Amino acid sequence: MLDLFTPIAEDEKQHPLFKMMLQEQYKPEQDVLNSWAQGFEDRDGKFIYEFQTTFESSMWELYLHAFLKDLGAQTDFSHHAPDFVTELDRHITLEATIAAPPQGGEAPAGHSQMFAPTDFAEFNQQSAIRISNSLSSKIKKFRTSYSDLPHVKDKPYVIGLASFDRPFSHFAVNRGIVAVLYGLYVDEETTIATGANELIKYPVEAVVKNENASIPVGLFTTDEYKDVSAVIYSSLATWGKIRALADNPNAMSVYHTCHLPKGDSIIPEVRNTIKAEYKEDIADGLHILHNPFAEYPLDANTFNHARVAQYFFDPEKGINVIAPDDFLLLRQVNSVVTR
């Protein structure tokens, strides 16, 4: 069992969220992470230090491990890479990564409402750029380091990606990942400005990085990336997820959540729930995006969970999404914290 919360990193190097979690009032949140870590193996002896100093990437790896356990997966930790060599309805390999801030960019956690995005066109564009960079890195890693490994060969390769690239990165929902993988952009700014009664969306081939460069998108619209079977994505596997799952009914917190719209509406269903009455599943807010051109395709049974959204793309028909009616799009937690 990993000892996550006995500090081994110097105080000045500890991540703010890790440091906060050491307080007694966050014992229920510690219990959540400890439960995620059960059965997880630190293969290089660096995981605990990285968890205490960088937090998000390690927490995301533990989250994926917990999700796989929830599915009943059997994971083999005897291999140094990829992160997960696991068996569900078939053997798969899974590599975890995050969309991180650009060099010099603001960290995702610890910011007031003044950092909330106001221009969603710019926000979604930057989100897509960071997502694309992370995916490109892991695809390159697979092709240069993993693809010829005996335990990887002839098996589906899946990338698990979470957005931690800026303050309020959880606002990304699925806009950036859908644009990057399927070349379809949902234009929130124009939808709101025109008062449209349905979401305005259109195909895109690239996102503009700067005046001299653009980044191609639509990775899953051709067979160029057939070596990636699917992407598991979340913008909500965050500190908020840990708090939501913690057995702490007396916490003075209110959960403001947005869910899929009802009926013909394009406005998400909004709920406000106190902690004592709030329920959330580990898989709420999780997206599984399938590659129709994959050399080793997956179907809906591989990550078969009642709470996830699964995306299937057809070049002629577009995107088909299978999701629960109340699928979680966004979560914000307002808390009164004692110091």
The residue that leads in pLDDT, 187 or 337, is 187
Q: How far apart are CA 284 and CA 215, in angstroms?
A: 30
Q: What is the average per-residue pLDDT within 314-329?
A: 96
Percentage of the residues of the chain whose pLDDT score is greater than 90: 82
pLDDT of res. 111: 62
Amino acid, single-letter form, for residue 192: I
The residue that leads in pLDDT, 107 or 2, is 2
Residues linked to residue 258 through DSSP beta bridges, in sequence order: 270, 330
Longest dimension (CA), the chain: 56
Reported as a pLDDT band with limits 50, 70 and 90, residue 227 is: very high
DSSP state of 177: H
Check pLDDT > 90 for residue 237.
Answer: yes
Q: Is 130 left (phi over 0), alpha (psi -120 to 50) or beta?
A: alpha
State how far the alpha carbon of 191 is from the alpha carbons of 18, 120, 194, 205, 304, in Å.
39, 11, 6, 20, 33
User: Tens digit of pLDDT for each residue in 245-294?
Assistant: 999 999 999 999 999 999 889 999 999 999 999 999 999 999 999 999 99
Half-sphere exposure of 196 (CA within 13 A, CB side): 14
Q: What is the average per-residue pLDDT within 295-319?
A: 96
Check pLDDT > 70 for residue 114.
Answer: no
Query: Mean pLDDT, the chain, as a whole number?
Result: 94
Q: What is the average per-residue pLDDT within 320-325?
A: 98
Check pLDDT > 70 for residue 96.
Answer: yes
Among 238, 123, 107, 110, residue whose Cα is nearest residue 165? 107
DSSP state of 12: G
Check pLDDT > 90 for residue 74.
Answer: yes
Q: How far apart are CA 288 and CA 300, in angstroms?
A: 9
Q: How far apart are CA 227 and CA 297, in angstroms?
A: 9
Pairing of β 201-203 and β 206-210: unpaired
Check pLDDT > 90 for residue 66.
Answer: yes
Q: How does 148-186 read in b/e, with b if 16+ C-beta sit within 10 Å?
A: ebeebeebbbbbbbbbbbbbbbbbbbbbbbbbbbbbbbb
State how far the alpha carbon of 100 is from the alpha carbons of 19, 55, 96, 103, 243, in Å.
20, 12, 13, 9, 22
Reported as a pLDDT band with limits 50, 70 and 90, residue 109 is: confident
Q: What is the average per-residue pLDDT within 35-49?
A: 97
pLDDT of res. 43: 94
The model carries a pTM of 0.96
Q: How far apart are CA 95 and CA 139, in angstroms?
A: 10
Instruction: Write the CB contacts of 272 (distance below 8 Å, at least 6 apart in sequence).
Output: 254, 255, 256, 257
Reported as a pLDDT band with limits 50, 70 and 90, residue 213 is: confident
**SS3 assignment, position 162:** strand
